[in-house]
Amino acid sequence: MRKKIVAGNWKMNLDYNEGLALFSEVVNMVKDEATGTQEVVVCSPFIHLHSLVQLAKGSAKVSVGAQNAHQAESGAYTGEISAKQVKSVGAAYVILGHSERRQYFGEDNALLAKKTDVVLANDLKPIFCIGETLQEREANVHFDIIKSQLLEGVGHLDAAAFSKLVIAYEPVWAIGTGVTASSDQAQEIHAFIRKEIAAKYDQSVADATTILYGGSCNPKNAAELFACADIDGGLIGGASLKSRDFTDIVKAFN
Ligand SMILES: O=C[C@H](O)COP(=O)(O)O
């Protein structure tokens, strides 16, 4: 059966020492919690990755991820980080397709397809984000948008490669706004995504795919969201910057 995952996305927050302190607290707190969450992933800025991997050693449940990787294996791309470099410090995951990357850095589905290939080729697991803007939802094209992000971004993969992905549904209007999708809205889209995966591959691939919800998820609303049949955990932004809040979300699968 698919894995229940709670992933934190620190975005461009926390200096080196702040990140290590927060991560140490999370590792310690998560260790003692009885929870249905099977894996806790912290996606930090690149500067923290190596140290977090060291701190996570000995924790069966906590993994580390990056928030991006370049589409090339290596080369003259000043300021960029490759998937191979991320892999070399021991990280396990890479977030791809986050709406902030799509919006501020012009990452489109074609580019994300290339990034997905490179990340997978380096034996890293993509957390592949899809989700509509408020305008798209209001124009009632959100299903089309989500379907095209899914199929154009990762639909070229064969079933074996696709099964290494985690999908994250993040409605852009809910990210960092304090406006969470209702559990009904989120479940509707998660079920739709799973149906599209089944149509593209087959039902067993769809049933095995972890689909996370992201967007103003917090300790108060996590349990209701995670109780939905097709929601397999969360991708947590703001609340992942506080160890107690993040751990309470991890506990929400109880
Ligand atoms: O990657 C995380 C999402 O962008 C959600 O962020 P948020 O929890 O601050 O709304």
Residue 44 has pLDDT above 80, yes or no: yes
Q: What percentage of the chain reaches a pLDDT higher than 70?
A: 100
Residue 24 has pLDDT above 90, yes or no: yes
Q: Tell me how far apart the alpha carbons of residues 2 and 20 are, in angstroms, rounded to a whole number.
A: 30
Predicted pLDDT at 254? 67
Q: Quick one: average pLDDT of 62-70? A: 98
Count the helices and strands in the chain (H runs, E runs): 12, 8
**Confidence class of residue 58 from pLDDT cuts 50, 70 and 90?**
confident
CB-based contacts of 197: which residues, under 8 Å, 6+ apart?
150, 162, 167, 205, 206, 209
Mutate to test the pocket of ligand 1, among 94, 235, 240, 242 (most ligand atoms within 8 A of CB): 235
Predicted pLDDT at 210? 98
Encoded tokens for 176: 């960092």
- Condensed to tens digits (0 to 9), the pLDDT of residues 95-141 reads 999 999 999 999 999 999 999 999 999 999 999 999 999 999 999 99
The backbone region for 215, taken as left when phi is positive above 0, alpha when psi lies in -120 to 50, beta otherwise, is left
**Composition of the chain by helix, strand, coil, percent to 5:** 50, 15, 35
Predicted pLDDT at 189? 98
Single out the catalytic residue among 39, 48, 70, 98.
98
Question: Which residues approach ligand 1 with their CB closer than 6 A?
Answer: 9, 98, 170, 175-176, 214-217, 235-239
Predicted pLDDT at 121? 98
Predicted pLDDT at 37? 84
- Condensed to tens digits (0 to 9), the pLDDT of residues 205-230 reads 999 999 999 999 999 999 999 999 99
Average pLDDT, the chain: 96
Domain 5-253 has CATH 3.20.20.70: yes
Mutate to test the pocket of ligand 1, among 129, 217, 221, 246 (most ligand atoms within 8 A of CB): 217
Amino acid at 127: I
**Confidence class of residue 190 from pLDDT cuts 50, 70 and 90?**
very high
178 among annotated binding-site residues: no
Residue 28 has pLDDT above 90, yes or no: yes
Q: Tell me how far apart the alpha carbons of residues 16 and 40 are, in angstroms, rounded to a whole number.
A: 20
**Confidence class of residue 146 from pLDDT cuts 50, 70 and 90?**
very high
